[in-house]
Amino acid sequence: MTTVTAAMLTRIQIEDFIYREAALLDEWKLDDWLALYTADCRYEIGPTGKADAAKLSPETSLFLVADNRFRLEQRVIRLKKPTAHAEYPHSRSRRLYSNVRVLEDTGTAVKAAVSFVTFRSARHNVQTFFGQIDYTFQTSGGADERKFQVASKRVTLDLDSLVPQGKVTIIL
């Protein structure tokens, strides 16, 4: 008989959450994806080509994306419009996540890290983004029925630059 510890259960719940988030993004269900985030959330994509990018702050460095909830909502609205030329028609994407680690669990918040690869295909071109995502989740509910919402998501790309991509037009 196997005993599931609280830490194991939390990791499983976090993995399920992250995989569901990936599926929503791959299926372009952006409103459902946005509902996974808190009202005071942060969504950031740090600069490329810097060894210490995970430690940088958008207050002191130029980030590719440094959105609060309002800006994230506006990003979703723009991506859904036909006038979003870089993403209309919508590109096809596939997100692969691995090495999910729970770094800290205070009972009301969980910090986790995950390695990722995202493939984007549009106009006969395939782009690859890869790196690490650091999450902070707000939690509620009991251990077996714990609910999670993303309070912070920081993407650190392991790319020297965005060449040949030139830009990030999808939500990583």
pTM beyond 0.85, yes or no: yes
- pLDDT of 162 reads 79
User: Rg of the chain's alpha carbons, rounded to an integer?
Assistant: 16
Q: List beta partners, residue 104.
A: 111
Handedness of CA 5, 10, 16, 18 (dihedral sign): negative
- pLDDT of 137 reads 98
- pLDDT of 164 reads 65
Domains and CATH numbers, the chain: 6-157 (3.10.450.50)
Calpha distance 158→48 (Å, rounded): 7
Which residue numbers in the chain have pLDDT < 50?
none
Calpha distance 170→162 (Å, rounded): 13
